[in-house]
């Protein structure tokens, strides 16, 4: 069997090696000529998978090691009888780490506490629901909006988008990009909703760029810099709006989900689906292959002030400023589009909060709940 894999997929040899010969290419170089003689194609979100790529090829199965599927023409694959799998939830915890690291940074810069804030989560799937679970320990009020789930599950506690936007001080978007139908998400935040955001609102988009009308957001920020904006995803990646880039508070190149833990989970999920497709046993397990965490444990003495301690653990594990500053360096050196892709391709190793254990000698000021809310494994020990 011949297998073509995006070069930014970790553990591809370990998982797929037993199936046949592996070729690796940058995701944007995967074209019709490259896939023609392949049997299995494993991609990330930057490869458009459609008839133009696959017609006339031998490919029988396509896997994307991502949550999102908006780069894949699912109808075409179905009609062509080509098997398909994505990796639901694989990097959801990584996105939640990104959101919490960003919120902590803004809270420190602006001198506010997360406790007591009202946070609106739009899109309550794997990412949104895990974010809500973690925030549960932090004494924040969570407002949830997910009309497809509200309809399917009869959830009366879910709000409409406009009701959520009216009350939330922090708005987190975790919706997929859906361009058609009753629940389309393209420009879910359109010009009128962006204009109506109350001054001081924090807006975070780590779903898909086009869920927010980027031009309208730029216009609002040019008129008044009264919002705090965190954008990990953008319209027209990698050639994003440079004027908007200059106006937002935290700008990163679609790396919220790029923890090595999330990427490896994505490879495992696609491997399992491919083995099912080919009727083979999936013997490889991520547990056998995963590298050890690089930072295992932080021990906090009774003198640790709770807020500083939370900040220290978060930054030790993942500090969003690293990605902001690095992206800025890359885009200055290479230009926006090339820098955007290059930083993602060379993305430094990042572990998830759940890989770090925090040992506490004393549980002062709700520190244990805050650390657990952020996702760290906490042990209270008097020794």
Ligand X SMILES: O=C(O)[C@H](O)[C@H](O)COP(=O)(O)O
Ligand Y SMILES: NC(=O)c1ccc[n+]([C@@H]2O[C@H](COP(=O)([O-])OP(=O)(O)OC[C@H]3O[C@@H](n4cnc5c(N)ncnc54)[C@H](O)[C@@H]3O)[C@@H](O)[C@H]2O)c1
The residue ranges that bind ligand Y (CB under 6 A) are 67-68, 89, 91-92, 95, 122-128, 145-149, 174-176, 178, 183, 185, 188, 206-208, 232-233, 254, 256-257
What gap in Å lies between CA 172 and CA 238, rounded to an integer? 22
Q: Judge whether 237 counts as a catalytic residue.
A: yes
- Interface mask (CB under 6 A) for ligand X, residues 146-175, using x and -? ------------------------------
Ligand-binding site membership of 226 (annotated): no
Scanning residues 72 to 111, which ones bind ligand X (CB under 6 A)?
91
Q: Specify which residues 229 forms β-bridges with.
A: 203
Tell me whether residue 45 is annotated as binding. yes
Q: Find the binder of ligand X among 120, 253, 257, 339 (CB under 6 A).
A: 257
- 368 in contact with ligand X (CB under 6 A): no
* Cα 292 from chain centre: 22
Q: Is 120 in the site for ligand X (CB under 6 A)?
A: no
- 253 contributes a contact to ligand X by CB under 6 A: no
Which DSSP letter does residue 128 get?
A: H
Residue 239 and residue 337 in contact, taking contact as beta carbons nearer than 8 Å? yes
Cis peptide before 238 (omega within 30 of 0): yes
Residue with tokens 């991609």: 43
Question: Smallest Cα–Cα separation from 255: which of 94, 379, 103?
Answer: 94
**Is the bond preceding residue 215 a cis peptide, omega within 30 degrees?**
no
Catalytic residue among 130, 208, 220, 350: 208
175 binds, among ligand X, ligand Y, none (CB under 5 to 8 A by kind): ligand Y
To the question of whether residue 338 is assigned a binding role by annotation, the answer is no
Closest distance of CB 95 from ligand X, Å: 8
Indicate the residue among 119 and 233 with the shorter CB distance to ligand Y. 233
DSSP H helices, 201-300, are 214-223, 242-247, 260-277, 286-289
For 2, the token pair is: 């011949």
Q: Hey, what are 281's tokens? A: 């046993």
Q: Binding to ligand X by residue 45, rule CB under 6 A?
A: yes
* Active site members: 208, 237, 254
- Binding site members for substrate: 45, 66
């Amino acid at each position: 069997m011949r297998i073509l894999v995006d070069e930014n997929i970790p553990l591809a040899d370990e998982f797929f090696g037993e199936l046949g010969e592996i070729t690796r290419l940058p995701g944007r170089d995967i074209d019709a000529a490259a896939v023609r003689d392949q049997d299995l194609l494993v991609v990330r979100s930057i490869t458009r998978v459609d008839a133009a790529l696959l017609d006339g090829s031998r490919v029988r199965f396509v896997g994307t090691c991502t949550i999102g599927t908006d780069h894949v023409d699912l109808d075409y694959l179905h009609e062509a009888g080509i098997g398909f799998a994505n990796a639901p939830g694989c990097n959801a915890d990584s996105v939640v780490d990104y959101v919490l690291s960003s919120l902590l940074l803004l809270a420190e810069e602006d001198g506010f506490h997360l406790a007591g804030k009202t946070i609106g989560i739009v899109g309550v799937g794997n990412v949104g629901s895990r974010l809500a679970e973690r925030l549960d320990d932090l004494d924040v009020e969570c407002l949830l909006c997910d009309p497809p789930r509200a309809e399917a599950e009869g959830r009366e506690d879910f709000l409409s988008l406009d009701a959520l936007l009216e009350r939330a001080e922090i708005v987190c978007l975790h919706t997929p990009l859906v361009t058609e139908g009753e629940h389309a998400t393209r420009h879910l935040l359109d010009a009128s909703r962006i204009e109506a955001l109350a001054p001081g609102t924090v807006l975070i988009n780590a779903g898909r760029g086009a869920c927010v009308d980027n031009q309208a957001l730029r216009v609002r920020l040019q008129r008044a810099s009264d919002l705090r904006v965190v954008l990990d995803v953008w319209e027209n990646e990698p050639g994003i709006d440079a004027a908007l880039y200059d106006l937002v508070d935290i700008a990163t190149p679609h790396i919220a989900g790029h923890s090595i833990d999330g990427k490896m989970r994505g490879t495992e999920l696609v491997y399992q689906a491919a083995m099912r497709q080919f009727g083979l046993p999936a013997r490889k397990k991520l547990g056998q292959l995963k590298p050890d965490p690089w930072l295992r444990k932080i021990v906090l003495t009774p003198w640790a002030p709770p807020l500083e301690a939370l900040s220290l653990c978060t930054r030790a594990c993942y500090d969003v400023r690293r990605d902001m500053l690095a992206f800025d360096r890359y885009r200055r050196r290479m230009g926006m589009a090339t820098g955007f892709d290059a930083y993602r391709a060379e993305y430094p190793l990042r572990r998830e909060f759940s890989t770090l254990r925090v040992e506490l000698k004393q549980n002062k000021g709700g520190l244990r709940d805050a650390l657990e809310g952020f996702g760290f494994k906490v042990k209270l020990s008097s020794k």
